Amino acid sequence: MRAVIQRVLRASVRVSDELISSIDRGLCVLIGIANDDDQTDIDYIVRKLLTIRLWPSMDGTKNWNRNVVDLDSSLLCISQFTLHATLKGTKPDYHLSMSGEQSKILYEKLLNQLKQSYKTDKIFDGQFGAMMAVNIENDGPVTIILDSRSKKSGATADNE
């Protein structure tokens, strides 16, 4: 499972000019689900999303000191199967992405686990499977890419 995490001042998602979700300061997270992802990948991504320290301390003396929970901020999650694309020449190939029906189940589990682990009213999402217009005002900019496979392969330099 991949997550592209963007620290934002605000973010929103629209489908056909209809506002689906919007947040103020928090994280906008693009989620890509691979064909072999399971509950352990969800656990890893949820834990990291809620604990990654992307904001400075309250007094500004320490960088990378507070997380989204510390700030009581929101998360806007958007399913994006293209995060697992590979290229065949110049054409994208999505064989590493989980099928739509299966990935929807895992994506909804991820959202539910975020809500249970944090606060239901702080977790927002787009519209699964739709063509969406995602607007962000990146804060920093700060963009972090997480891949649960790095955890599976034994790369634990991130002090899980």
For 61, the domain range is 2-148
Q: Is residue 67 part of a domain?
A: yes
pLDDT at 29: 98
CATH at residue 47: 3.50.80.10
Residue 154 inside a domain? The answer is no
pLDDT for 150 = 85
Taking 3-state DSSP, the helix, strand and coil percentages for the chain, each rounded to the nearest 5, stand at 25, 40, 35
- Total-model pTM: 0.91
The reply to whether 158 falls in a domain is no
Is residue 11 domain-resident? Answer: yes
Q: Is residue 159 part of a domain?
A: no
pLDDT of residue 93: 94
Residue owning tokens 């399913």:
79
Does 75 fall in a domain? Answer: yes
Has residue 157 been placed in a domain?
no
Averaged in consecutive runs of 10 residues, what is the pLDDT profile of the chain (160 residues)? 98 97 98 97 97 96 97 97 94 93 96 98 96 96 94 49
Count CB atoms within 10 A of the CB of residue 1. Answer: 26
Q: What was the pLDDT predicted at 154?
A: 45
Beta strands in the chain (DSSP E): 2-15, 18-23, 26-32, 74-79, 86-88, 91-93, 123-125, 133-147
How many distinct structural domains can be found in the chain? Answer: 1
In this prediction, residue 152 carries a pLDDT of 54
Within a 10 A sphere around the Cβ of 148, how many other Cβ atoms? Answer: 21
